[in-house]
Structure 1
Amino acid sequence: MTRKKLEQVMTREKLKTALSSVDWNANISEFVKETSLTGTIANCNLRLAIWSRQFEETDKGNPALPFIREMQIAGHHTAALTGLALYKPAAAAMRTLLETTLFYTYFRCHPCELATLVRNEDYFVQKSDLLDYHKKHTPEFDDFGLVGKINKWYRQVSSIVHGQIPGIWTGHESLAQTKHVSELLPVVVDAFQEGEEIVHQLFLCTVGRDLWPGFSTDSKRKLLKGLPGEIKKALGLDAA
Structure 2
Amino acid sequence: MIRNNIKDILYETKWHENISKAMEHGACTKIDDLCKKIAIISKQIEFVDKENPSICFIREMQFSLHQAAALIGISLYKASVASLRTFVESFLYYSYFRNHNEELKTLLRVDDYYVSKSSIIEYHNFHTFKFKERSKIFSFESLLNEWYSKSSAIIHGQIPGDWNTHFSLLQINHSDTLLNSSIDNMEKSVSLVIKAILSTMSDENWFSITFESKREITKGIDKRKLLSAERVII
- Equivalent in the alignment of 2:193: 199
Cα pair 2:18 2:73 within 8 Å, conserved: yes
Q: Aligned partners of 1:94, 1:198: CA distance in 2, in Å?
A: 11
Contact 2:48/2:208, CA 8 A, preserved across alignment: yes
Q: For 2:113, which of 104, 107, 123 is the aligned residue?
A: 123
CA contact 2:64–2:87 (8 Å) conserved in 1: yes
Aligned 8 A contact 1:135 1:142 in 2: no
Identity %, equivalent residues:
37
Structure 1: how far apart are the matches of 2:39 and 2:18? Answer: 25
Q: How does 1:76-87 map to 2 (within 5 A)?
A: 76-87=66-77
Aligned match of 2:142 in 141, 148, 168?
148
Distance 1:142 1:155 in 2: 19
Deviation of 1:210 after TM superposition, in Å, equals 4.4
State TM-score, norm by structure 2.
Answer: 0.92
The match for 1:17 is: 8
Q: Which residue of 2 is the match for residue 214 of structure 1? A: 208
The answer to whether 1:95 aligns with 2:89 is no
Equivalent residue pairs, number: 229
The question of 1:29 aligning with 2:6 is answered no
Q: How big is the shift at 1:208? A: 6.2
Name the aligned partner's letter for residue 147 of structure 1.
E
- C-alpha displacement of 1:202: 0.6
Matches of 2:187 and 2:163 in 1, distance apart? Answer: 16
SS at match of 1:66: helix
Give 2:171's match in structure 1, choosing from 170, 177, 195. 177
- Tell whether the 8 Å contact from 1:221 to 1:239 is kept in structure 2 after alignment: yes
RMSD of aligned alpha carbons: 1.7
**Could you say which structure has the greater relative contact order, defined with CA pairs below 8 angstroms and 6 or more residues apart?**
2
The Cα offsets for residues 17-41 of structure 1, whole Å up to 9 and x where unpaired, read as 2111112111111111111x33222
Instruction: Output the CA distance in 1 between the equivalents of 2:94 and 2:136.
Output: 19
Check whether the contact 1:67–1:100 (CA below 8 A) recurs between aligned residues. Answer: yes
Q: Where in structure 1 do 4 or more consecutive aligned residues deviate above 6 Å? A: none
Cα separation, 2, equivalents of 1:30 and 1:102: 34
The structure number with the bigger radius of gyration is: 1
CA offsets 1:91-145 (integer angstroms, 9 cap, x no match): 1101101110110111101112111111111111111101111222331222222
Residue 39 (1) aligns with residue 29 (2): yes
Residue-by-residue CA offset, 1:13-62 (whole Å, 9 max, x unaligned)? 52112111112111111111111x33222211111111110011111111
AA aligned to 2:153 is S
